[in-house]
């Protein structure tokens, strides 16, 4: 993770300490003050935007100090949350797995070692670590060589049985399959960079003389590159893996360097190819072919890599809204609680956690919110947000949420370009959510008087013109809220949308923009 200067995080730290020191409180009945009436009038005005005329909007605002409901419209309606689903997944994962949870990746010898010869199979066993890089598999191969193994007479076996073999969510759309944000889920996977977009490879193109040069990060021959692009005056290029294959077709024109994150088909075999290549590099010859299967009981451990703890993984997961982290954690929860690394088992853990914390209206179909059949009410999201404030892990989780107006990617995350220069900057800690026709923003903000507020804004079924600025106006208005005095006018924004792509889905954006 990047280090940030004190000036970047000072405001966020003050907000964090305030939230960490104020326990959750039950709702109490209070007479509405003039400030609350003013707030209600202003939010109603914000929601009167013509873009919402045919859309559905659910908004709930509650005081975390005394439980008072300050504003609500369609609080109990089931709406599509998009990545607000990750609030439930991440909270359940921390509660179930613990902040110290790590994913081990292990190399095992299933046969007998005689001198430098292993008479048996070499097994690479994964448990879902989304942070494994090609360099980490290379380090494991180096450890095998350091253990004195030079020849393996059997096979290289990739053991991904910690999770089931279902790679894609049941409700995910067919045309999402080639893209990094809908990469296949496996207990053995690899990321191309330290954003940890597991199960994907970065494909880069650049004009080289009169030809288009193609490279991959990491270097791999697992993908078959079909390069039909030409050098042109402008860069207008499409890099797309063909559905259900590992063939990447590149078409269009290239003037300036460009890159795309491409999901691989079958991450397990992709990882096995990386590991076999590293074994060869370090002087370890595997005579047999590559296969898959479970490691036999009693296999001896030769090397192991431990991931960062979940407390650290929460940062790229929540700040950058990583779908694959959400799904891996869902299956990891299922494995721990029910002994089954499946979506069904993991989603039961998440929904049981939510219900145990008072959440009523919830329909979880995946861990990330990529499914359009996910359904939550804004009232349920606020209930969860308020309930987890009493958890011992709350501060770590709260700090991992995107922070409005903070330009550092690993602080501001998906809110880094929103609400800058307003009362919400370095104040709002909230989770964004985006699908075509869907946007949501739910989290925490301190009022002008320092009162902690919990809010959820869910906007569905709008047809044109991203209404993310409506979310921002509400969040800024909450940051300006005072029980004692009225605010003169509905806040004017000094911010951009969630990403440079506005209302576009992540399939049209690079990971740095999502």
Q: Which residues are catalytic?
A: 83, 86, 321
How far is Cα 250 from Cα 153, in angstroms, rounded to an integer? 40
Residue 258, beta-bridge partner list: 205
What number of H helices and E strands is found in the chain? 12, 23
Residue with tokens 């048996």: 120
Both tokens of 350, joined, read 């998440």
Given the DSSP bridges, would you call strands 300-306 and 104-109 parallel, antiparallel or unpaired?
A: antiparallel
Residue 43, beta-bridge partner list: none
How far is Cα 358 from Cα 407, in angstroms, rounded to an integer? 35
Both tokens of 146, joined, read 């350091």
Residue 203, beta-bridge partner list: 216, 260
Residue with tokens 């479970």: 294
Report CA-CA distances (Å) from 432 to 76, 255, 318, 499: 20, 34, 9, 11
Calculate the CA 267 to chain-centre distance. 18
Q: Which residues of 168-257 form beta strands (DSSP E)? A: 200-208, 211-217, 224-227, 230-231, 236-241, 247-254
Sorted by sequence, the CB contacts under 8 Å of residue 261 that are 6+ apart come out as 179, 180, 192, 197, 200, 201, 202, 203, 510, 511
Given the DSSP bridges, would you call strands 122-125 and 258-263 parallel, antiparallel or unpaired?
A: unpaired
Q: DSSP secondary-structure letter at 65?
A: T
241: closest CA among 277, 270, 212, 274? Answer: 270
Sorted by sequence, the CB contacts under 8 Å of residue 342 that are 6+ apart come out as 163, 164, 166, 331, 334
How far is Cα 4 from Cα 81, in angstroms, rounded to an integer? 31
Please state at what angle helix 134-146 crosses helix 267-281, rounded to 10 degrees: 50
CB atoms near residue 116 (< 10 Å): 13
Q: Count how many residues are written for the chain.
A: 514
CA angle centred on 512, ends 507 and 209, rounded to 5°: 85
64: closest CA among 117, 19, 120, 7? Answer: 19
437: closest CA among 416, 419, 414, 458? Answer: 458
């Amino acid at each position: 993770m990047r280090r940030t200067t004190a000036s970047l995080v000072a405001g966020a730290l003050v907000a964090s300490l305030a939230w960490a020191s104020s326990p959750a409180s039950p709702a109490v009945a209070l007479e509405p003050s003039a400030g609350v009436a003013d707030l209600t009038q202003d939010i109603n005005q914000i929601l009167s935007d013509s873009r919402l005329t045919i859309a559905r909007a659910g908004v709930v605002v509650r005081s975390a100090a005394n439980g008072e409901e300050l504003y609500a419209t369609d609080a109990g309606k089931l709406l599509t949350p998009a990545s607000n689903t990750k609030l439930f997944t991440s909270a359940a994962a921390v509660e179930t797995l613990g902040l110290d949870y790590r994913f081990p990746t292990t190399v095992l010898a299933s046969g007998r070692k005689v001198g430098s010869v292993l008479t048996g199979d070499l097994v690479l066993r994964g448990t879902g670590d989304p942070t494994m890089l090609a360099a980490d598999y290379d380090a494991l191969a180096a450890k095998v060589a350091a253990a004195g193994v030079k020849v393996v007479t059997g096979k290289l076996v990739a053991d991904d049985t910690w999770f089931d073999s279902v790679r894609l969510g049941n409700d995910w759309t067919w045309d999402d399959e080639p893209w990094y944000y809908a990469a296949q889920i496996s207990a053995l996977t690899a990321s191309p960079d330290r954003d940890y977009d597991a199960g994907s490879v970065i494909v880069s193109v650049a004009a080289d003389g009169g030809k288009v040069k193609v490279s991959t990060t990491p270097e791999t021959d697992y993908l078959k590159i079909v390069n039909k692009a030409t050098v042109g005056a402008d860069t207008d290029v499409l890099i797309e893996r063909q559905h259900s294959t590992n063939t990447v077709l590149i078409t269009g024109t290239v003037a300036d360097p460009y890159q795309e994150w491409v999901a691989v088909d079958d991450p397990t075999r992709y990882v096995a190819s990386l590991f076999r290549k590293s074994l060869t590099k370090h002087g370890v010859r595997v005579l047999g072919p590559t296969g898959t299967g479970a490691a036999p009981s009693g296999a001896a451990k030769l090397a192991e890599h431990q991931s960062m703890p979940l407390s650290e993984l929460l940062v790229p997961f929540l700040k950058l809204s990583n779908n694959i982290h959400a799904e891996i954690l869902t299956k990891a929860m299922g494995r721990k609680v029910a002994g089954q690394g499946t979506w069904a088992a993991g989603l039961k853990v998440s929904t049981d956690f939510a219900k145990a914390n008072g959440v009523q209206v919830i329909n979880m179909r995946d861990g990330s919110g990529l499914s359009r059949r996910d359904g939550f009410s804004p009232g349920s999201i606020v209930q969860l947000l308020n309930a987890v404030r009493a958890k011992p892990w709350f501060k770590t989780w709260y700090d991992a949420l995107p922070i409005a107006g903070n330009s550092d990617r690993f602080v501001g995350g998906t809110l880094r370009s929103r609400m800058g220069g307003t009362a919400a900057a370095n104040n709002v800690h909230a989770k964004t959510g985006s699908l075509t026709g869907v946007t949501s923003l739910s989290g925490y903000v301190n009022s002008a008087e320092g009162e902690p507020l919990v809010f959820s804004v869910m906007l569905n079924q709008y047809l044109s013109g991203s209404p993310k600025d409506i979310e921002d106006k509400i969040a800024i208005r909450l940051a300006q809220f005072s029980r004692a005095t009225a605010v003169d006018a509905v806040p004017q924004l000094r911010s951009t949308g969630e990403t440079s792509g506005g209302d576009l889905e992540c399939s049209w954006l690079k990971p740095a923009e999502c």
